[in-house]
Amino acid sequence: MNLPLKKAATKLNELTACEIVAAIDGGRTTCEAVVRACLDHIQLREPAVQAWQYLDREQAIGQAIALDKSGKRGPLLGVPFGIKDIIDTSDMPTEYGSPIYKGNQPRNEAACVALGRKAGGVLMGKTVTTEFANRHPGKTKNPFDPARTPGGSSSGSAAAVGDCMVPLAIGTQTTGSTIRPASFCGAFGYRPTWGDLRLSGVREAAGSLDTLGLIARSVDDLALYRDVLLGVKPEPVPEHTGPLRVGFCRTHVWPQVEPYTQKLLEGAAQTLARAGMQVRDVELPADFERLLDAHLAISSFEFSRNFAYEIEHHWDKISATLRENRLKSGLECSFERYREARAFAAQCRRAFADVVKDFDVLLTASATGEAPVGLNTTGNANNCLIWTTLHVPTVTMPVFKGPHGLPVGAQIIGKADGDRALFAAARRIYQALA
């Protein structure tokens, strides 16, 4: 079932980032009014959702008042945003989802935080992350059903945007940590081409795979935020002209996808074809099935080395979930196996360029289906893992509802370094499906 077209927002906290900037520039509202509206909604909903690790109401209002008084203009003027709590902030604690770092206060702040503030954005606070952006869940609940996971590891960021607490939030992705929770929480999520956005001040999990992840309420907001974080003058998303060539890619993990999600995506492919797009099935090479094992070797090897200090000095404060899964796998992985996995991933990236040469984008699943019941896991990430390892940009869009009325996303895959073209195609596809 397709979600209905979004109704015109009547509350300031429901506006997209682009709408907020236009309203403030047009004198129809103020930075302070927008921030207060978001804070009021957070006060109402946070007891149920628990998206925030740190939030100081007066600090946020103070930022907004200062912006109004300054007369400053910028591409994110007055836009409230949240930051995943593995990202350093100079005036807010950064605890990495771990008791080891309770109360930790960095002296500096991450590049993505500084760029957001430079553009006129208002940093509202720190959103909940899983432990060290890995498998052990935090306190956040799904905003549509508190008995279900919001996904992870960018759980608080996705829940905050999905629940209209803020229009923008930054997460990260090493496996499926942005796309999957955005799908579960009914938001737009974007993982960029690997290496485009700077990770200075972001706690590294596995550098060969890590990226920032952006969560928003429209494709245009994702594009705007990307330009801000690139430090370039924002440009409108280009209009895609001519026939859009869409490859429907079931992938080798298709059997793990819920039958209702399979039907929703197959129906979407038919809808796009009726809308005049050129839709054809596309298969990944058979050996791409080995990407799951390659990703595990790369991510676990790098993660376990990055956290050598915590392993050596705070082993008892690391969750059993993390010790017995990611760290165990990483510590047991040889350098030879790690190097082999990196070489195989690079080989697949070269092969993928040939797979997609006759398509503009691919259409596939963002997650297996609706957010699963239970808060002790964050869901299956295999539908994201493939594209993360291939280093290509992806966008998830909230276009479906599952059998319980909960969001199910569709994931659009672009070509490496083709992020702006991906946005143009994703917006056109969203307009056809929404």
CA distance between the termini of the chain: 10
- 58-87 in b/e burial notation, b at 16+ Cβ within 10 A? eebbebbeebbeeeeebbbbbbbbbbbbbb
3-state secondary structure 293-357: HHHHHHHHHHHHHHCHHHHHHCHHHCCHHHHHHHHHHHHHCCHHHHHHHHHHHHHHHHHHHHHCC
Please tell me whether the overall predicted TM-score, pTM, comes out greater than 0.95 for this model: yes
- Residue 84 annotated among the catalytic residues of the structure: yes
Distance CA 38, CA 41 (A): 5
**Phi, psi (rounded to 5 degrees) for 15:** -70, 150
Whether 3 maps to a domain, the answer reads no
Query: Within 10 A of 174 (CB to CB), how many other CB atoms are there?
Result: 27
- Residue 415 annotated among the catalytic residues of the structure: no
Of the listed 155, 157, 177, 319, which one is catalytic? 177
Whether 6 maps to a domain, the answer reads no
Residue among 191, 220, 205, 224 at smallest CA distance from 366: 191
Q: Containing domain of residue 68, as a range?
A: 11-434
DSSP assignment letter at 391: T
pLDDT tens-digit series, residues 180-224: 999 999 999 999 999 999 999 999 999 999 999 999 999 999 999
- Residue 153 annotated among the catalytic residues of the structure: yes
Of the listed 98, 153, 155, 366, which one is catalytic? 153
Whether 75 maps to a domain, the answer reads yes
- Angle, in degrees to the nearest 10, between helices 382-390 and 291-306: 80
Whether 16 maps to a domain, the answer reads yes
DSSP assignment letter at 83: E
Check: CB of residue 407 under 8 Å from CB of residue 144: yes
CATH number at residue 166: 3.90.1300.10
- 135-170 in b/e burial notation, b at 16+ Cβ within 10 A? bbbbebbbbbbeebbbbbbbbbbbbbbbbbbbbbbb
Of the listed 84, 126, 401, 415, which one is catalytic? 84
Tens of pLDDT along the chain (434 residues)? Answer: 344 334 445 799 999 999 999 999 999 999 999 999 999 999 999 999 999 999 999 999 999 999 999 988 999 999 999 999 999 999 999 999 999 999 999 999 999 999 999 999 999 999 999 999 999 999 999 999 999 999 999 999 999 999 999 999 999 999 999 999 999 999 999 999 999 999 999 999 999 999 999 999 999 999 999 999 999 999 999 998 889 999 999 999 999 999 999 999 999 999 999 999 999 999 999 999 999 999 999 999 999 999 999 999 999 999 999 999 899 999 999 999 999 999 999 999 999 999 999 999 999 999 999 999 999 999 999 999 999 999 999 999 999 999 999 999 999 999 999 999 999 999 999 999 99
Total structural domains within the chain: 1
